[in-house]
Structure 1
Amino acid sequence: MVHILSNGVYKFCEWVTRLAYVNILWLCFTVLGLGLFGWMPASMAMFAVTKKWVNGETDIRIFPVFWNSYKQGWWKGNILGIIIAITFFLFYLDFRIIGTFEGNTTLLLFVMLGLFLSVSTTFFYLLPVFVYYDLRLLEYIKYAFIIGFLRPFHTVGIFIAVLGVTLIASLHITLLLFFSISSLAFVITWIANKAFVSIDHRLRKVNQQRLV
Structure 2
Amino acid sequence: MNWESFNNIAHRMIELIYINILWILFTILGLGIFGIFPATVSMFTIVRKIIVKEEKFKIFNTFWRTYHMEFMRTNGFAIIFYLVGYFLYYDLQFLQLNVGKFQFLYPVLILIFFSGLITLLFFFPVYVHFKLSYFQYLKQSFLIALTSPIEVITIALTGVSIYIVVSVFPGMIPLFPGSIFAYIVTRLGFRAFTRIAKRQTT
Structure 1 length-normalised TM = 0.86
Tell me, yes or no, if structure 1 residue 197 matches structure 2 residue 171. Answer: no
CA distance in 2, matches of 1:155, 1:92: 23
Aligned to 1:80: 77
Q: What amino acid is aligned across from residue 64 of structure 1 in structure 2?
A: N
Residue 180 of structure 1 is matched in structure 2 by 177
In structure 2, the residue matched to 1:98 is: 95
Q: Tell me by how many angstroms 1:73 deviates.
A: 1.3
| Shift in Å, 1:131 | 0.4
Residues 119-171 of structure 1: CA deviation (Å, up to 9, x unaligned): 00001111111101111111111111111112222222211221122222222
How far the C-alpha of 1:75 sits from its partner, in A, is 1.9
CA contact (8 A) 1:169 1:179 kept: no
Where in structure 2 are there 5+ consecutive unaligned residues?
none
Structure with greater contact order relative to length (CA < 8 Å, sep ≥ 6): 2
Deviates more, 1:120-129 or 1:53-62: 53-62
TM superposition shift of 1:40: 0.7
C-alpha change, 1:204 and 1:64, in structure 2 (3 Å) is farther
CA contact (8 A) 1:170 1:176 kept: no
Percent identity between matched residues is 27
Measured after TM superposition, the shift of residue 109 of structure 1 is: 3.0
Q: Which amino acid aligns with 1:174?
A: G
Match of 2:149 among 141, 148, 152: 152
Report the CA distance between 1:5 and its aligned residue: 4.8
Q: Which residue of 2 aligns with 1:109?
A: 106
How far does the alpha carbon of each residue in 1:74-107 deviate from its partner, in whole angstroms, 9 at most, with x for none?
A: 2211101111112112212222222222227765
User: What aligned pairs does 1:6-25 form with structure 2 within 5 A after superposition?
Assistant: 6-25=3-22
Count of residue correspondences: 202
Pick one of 38, 41, 51 that aligns with 1:41.
Answer: 38
2:95–2:101: 8 Å Cα contact kept in structure 1? no
TM score, norm. by length of structure 2: 0.90
Matched, 1:162 2:159: yes
Shift of 1:68: 2.1
Q: Which moved more, 1:59-68 or 1:141-150?
A: 59-68
